[in-house]
Amino acid sequence: MSVEILPVQGPRDLETFIRLPWRLYRDDKNFIPPLLSAERKMLDPARNPFYLHAEARHFLARRDGRIVGRISAIRNRRHEEFHGDGAGFFGYFECEEDPEAARALFGAAEDWLRPHGLRCVRGPVNPSMNDPCGTLVEGFKWPPFMLMTMNPPYHPALIEGAGYAKAMDLLAYVILQVEAIGAKIHKVAAEVLERARITIRPVDPSRFEEELRLLQEIYNDAWSKNWGFVPMTEEELKFAAEDLKAIVLPELTYFAYLDGEPVGFSLALPDINHALKRANGRLFPFGWFWFLKPMLRKIPTFRILALGVKRTHQHSGIGTLFYQKYFEIAGPRGYKAAELSWILETNDLMNRPIQRMGGKPYKRYRIYEKKL
């Protein structure tokens, strides 16, 4: 029987869309079920401020009465204004190993984007480059760290079979604590401190709103020249922080100052996927804070998910000071490993220092593109 493409219409269809990964990955030991409440919130235009400057249409693929795939077509007007490259996006792609269904899903997304005057389709982004994105193309052996995507090994072939080619790769590194602690990182950090009056302080949770504004200022400056970057609005940053603030630990999040001016930040979080796997998508009635807070410092791994320095100071070596902080506390607090992700493959300012510290690019994620 041929594939039928159905636009998502109403709450029941949306719930089917959200829950499809549970069936597709039921036998995959690396599957980390996302929180159903978080998925619903991300896809809700009334709650997610991303949709103040964007719109999306979601599609399901059905064969023989069974849902076999899903995709979202996404128009991000802020991206269009910032880059002017005529790019639309696809996201939330999931599919059985069914090339015909995959081609039909991509065709539906492209047909929805084309009348908006867009010249190409890029993805996956869920729903933007500021959110989990990319298709895993190397490193299928290991489960994902928090807020990183996962997919079966056949996904790249499905995407490429629909006419898409590589636009950019994103790298994930793993650093083992015993490799990272060494004379070299301390030597480089000492040299950085000799050249400039730099101080590092931990985040202050009691001043969360002020700290968030400071982070936004640095983030939007530090990433402004990165491929695919779109500045985050204040509303988007607050939305992202609503849940994450419950798992922020002061010893894992820092700000850097140069002569009293804030110039950098680094945000790392315990890898709560250890807990979410057991939760199976539900934390009710406990909620994020009460479920996770007692166990945060017992989690043996963490993810450095953002490290940024304002553009005028990006050659100052401040990143080394952040790394030194992390690996100084790693041993005493029982951390065994850290993932640094994701980093553009073209970002030499980030990639080279990590590799010199012993970081290994153990996973590779791909953003694909197709001309319309």
Cα separation values, 249 from 100, 146, 175, 256, 271, Å? 46, 15, 20, 17, 12
As a whole number of angstroms, the distance between CA 299 and CA 335 comes to 8
Distance, CA of 12 to chain centre: 27
- Taking the chain (372 residues) in runs of 10, the rounded mean pLDDT of each run is 94 98 96 92 97 98 97 98 97 98 98 97 98 98 96 98 98 78 74 88 94 97 96 96 87 95 96 81 53 76 96 92 89 90 96 85 98 96
What is the pLDDT, as a whole number, of residue 177?
66
84-122 burial code (b ≥16 CB/10 A, e <16)? eeebbbbbbbbbbebeebbbbbbebbbebbeeeebebbb
Our measurement of the distance from residue 266's CA atom to the centroid of its chain's CA atoms, rounded to an integer in Å, reads: 15
Set out the domains of the chain in order of their start, with CATH numbers.
Answer: 4-172 (3.40.630.30), 174-364 (3.40.630.30)
* Peptide linkage before 285 cis (omega within 30 of 0): yes
Residue labelled with tokens 């979202």: 72
How many CA atoms within 13 Å lie on the side-chain side of 276?
22
Q: Which of 245, 244, 246, 263 is nearest to 255 (CA)?
A: 263
* Main-chain phi, psi angles of 259, to 5 degrees: 50, 40
Token pair 């933007």 is found at 128
Instruction: State the pLDDT at residue 278.
Output: 75
DSSP code, position 133: B
- pLDDT given for residue 285 in this prediction: 44
| Cα distance between residue 303 and residue 252, in whole Å | 9
pLDDT given for residue 286 in this prediction: 45
List the structure tokens of 85. Answer: 């490259």
> Number of C-alpha atoms within 13 angstroms, CB side, residue 38?
20
Question: What pLDDT is recorded for position 182?
Answer: 62
Structure tokens that stand for 153 in this block: 């090994």
Helices and strands: H and E segment counts in the chain = 13, 13
